[in-house]
Amino acid sequence: MNDYYRYILQEEIYKLLIYKCPPLKYLDITFIQQQIDLFPDSKNWLSEILELRCNGDIEPHYFQGLAKFSQNIEKIIINSIKDDNYGLAKLIEVQKNLKYFKIIRDADVNSRKETFMTINHGLIKHTKSLIEFKAIFEELDQRYEDQLKISSYPNLEILHIKNISINTLINLIEKFKRNLEFSCLYLKVLYIKVLSIDENEEEDRSILSEILKDSAPNNITFLEC
């Protein structure tokens, strides 16, 4: 079957699903080829989605289409992303009660590149509703670390950050201890993976151990991921 007929077959399957099936609660568009919001009666079918999984490199108009109808998503998982995506940012922004957000940046992305700024702005609206936030980057550049130092998520329960520097980790813990009621009042678990500097892994582990022993708020569990 050539690509054209495969595309037509997929289109007919989507139309049948929209016509026959109840509204979706879960949607994975990682490998989507159809802009399903354009199909007849898709509004009701897409309006009750609670969880979305996607690839961040999908064309922006796919996300913009979803943003028209899918505004009750509570959980968004971005399996991989290389560049900023204004359509995805719009979809994130229009959500009414986003509770869980996970983003995985591709390993080959240049960390010094101006990336994900519109996605960051889309997330700002949800600082009060987010309960769990995961950012998995091969390396956090200084702009993201600076943002973490000043971020406030009052309802956050789980923060999962990989490859964070010792310096930023110290700032985070001191902020939680000093100003817990304003930064992360309900934070229960902080998953961390410290980025070793100059491959001094043992030294970094020793520093981390002292930080957690002396500075960590009593109500937060720290787990190395």
Average model confidence (pLDDT) across the chain:
79
Question: What's the predicted TM-score (pTM) here?
Answer: 0.77
Looking at the predicted structure, is the pLDDT value of residue 217 above 60? no
- The span from the CA of 45 to the CA of 41, in Å, is 7
What pLDDT was estimated at residue 182? 43
- Read off the tokens for 134: 């995961």
How crowded is residue 58: how many other Cβ atoms within 10 Å of its Cβ? 19
Give CA–CA dist 129/156, Å, rounded. 8
Residue in the block written with tokens 């100059």: 198
Residues 11, 34 contacting (CB under 8 angstroms) = yes
Q: What is the DSSP letter of 184?
A: -
Alpha carbon 144 to its chain centroid, in Å, reads 14
SS3 30: coil
- Look at residue 106 in the predicted model and tell me its pLDDT: 78
Name the residue among 164, 119, 130 with its Cα closest to residue 146: 164
The SS3 call for residue 134 is strand
For residue 194, the cross-strand partners are: 164
pLDDT tens, residue by residue, 54-82: 999 999 999 999 999 999 999 999 998 98
pLDDT bin (cut points 50, 70, 90) of residue 181 is very low
Q: For 21-224, which CATH superfamily applies? A: Ribonuclease Inhibitor (3.80.10.10)
- Average pLDDT of the residues in 83-87: 92
Q: Are 149 and 176 in contact (CB under 8 A)?
A: no
Question: Over 50: is that where the pLDDT of 115 sits?
Answer: yes
